[in-house]
Each structure stands twice: as structure tokens, then as C-alpha cells.
């Protein structure tokens, strides 16, 4: 009996506690999240080419960054966005940049 409970197979009790704490009390339930660290590093290193926008699924913005990469303006903006991604709250980042983060009804 001890080995059956050691794996965390608590059934309904563990799923109910995780679902109530995952929303954070703000009415949001995470289904799928992009990594803010990966987006931030991509923004800092390859932001001039819009790679961080492609990673976040914002294809049109990524193409605009790619078109104007020769002006170095996307590099500056990408660097700033990368830093903002890294210092932002996980929940705020997911709400702003993740399509899989749905409002709970």
C-alpha cells in the first residue's frame, strides 16, 4: 500500500488541488505555455531577425522584423523585448503571449 501512494497517484484529491492552485486566483487556467526564458534569450540574441516572434507564434510580426532586419531597429526592439520577457511575471507572460492560456469560465 505504501508503494501505491508514493508515486503521487492520489487520484481526485491531487487533481483538484492542482487545478485550484494553477489558476492563481486570477481566472486563468494554463493549458499550454511557451517558455518565457526561451523567448527572452531568443529576443536578446536573435531578436533582429524576429526569431522570438516566430517562437511565440506571431508570424506577421516575425516577418516584419525579418524584412527590416537590415535597419538594426528590430535588433534594438528585440533586445528590449527579450529583457522584458525575462523580468516579467510567468502569469502575465502567459496571458499576453500564449494562445493556450484560456480564461476559465
Q: Higher model confidence: residue 70 or residue 6?
A: 70
Dist CA 94 CA 28 (whole Å):
10
pLDDT band with cut points at 50, 70 and 90 for residue 20: very low
By the 8 A CB rule, do 28 and 100 touch? no
Give the DSSP letter string of 54-89.
Answer: HHTT-HHHHHHHHHTGGGSHHHHHHHHHHHHHHHS-
pLDDT band with cut points at 50, 70 and 90 for residue 101: low
39-98 confidence digits (pLDDT tens): 999 999 999 999 999 999 999 999 999 999 999 999 999 999 999 999 999 888 888 876
Q: What is the pLDDT of residue 28?
A: 57
Amino acid at each position: 500500500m505504501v508503494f501505491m501512494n508514493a508515486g503521487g497517484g492520489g487520484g481526485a484529491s491531487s487533481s483538484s488541488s492542482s487545478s485550484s492552485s494553477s489558476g492563481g486566483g486570477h481566472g486563468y487556467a494554463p493549458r499550454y505555455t511557451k517558455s518565457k526564458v526561451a523567448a527572452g534569450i531568443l529576443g536578446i540574441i536573435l531578436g533582429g531577425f524576429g526569431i522570438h516572434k516566430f517562437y511565440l507564434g506571431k508570424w506577421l510580426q516575425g516577418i516584419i522584423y525579418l524584412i527590416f532586419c537590415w535597419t538594426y531597429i528590430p535588433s534594438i526592439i528585440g533586445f528590449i523585448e527579450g529583457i522584458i520577457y525575462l523580468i516579467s511575471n510567468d502569469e502575465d507572460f502567459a496571458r499576453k503571449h500564449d494562445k493556450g492560456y484560456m480564461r476559465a469560465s
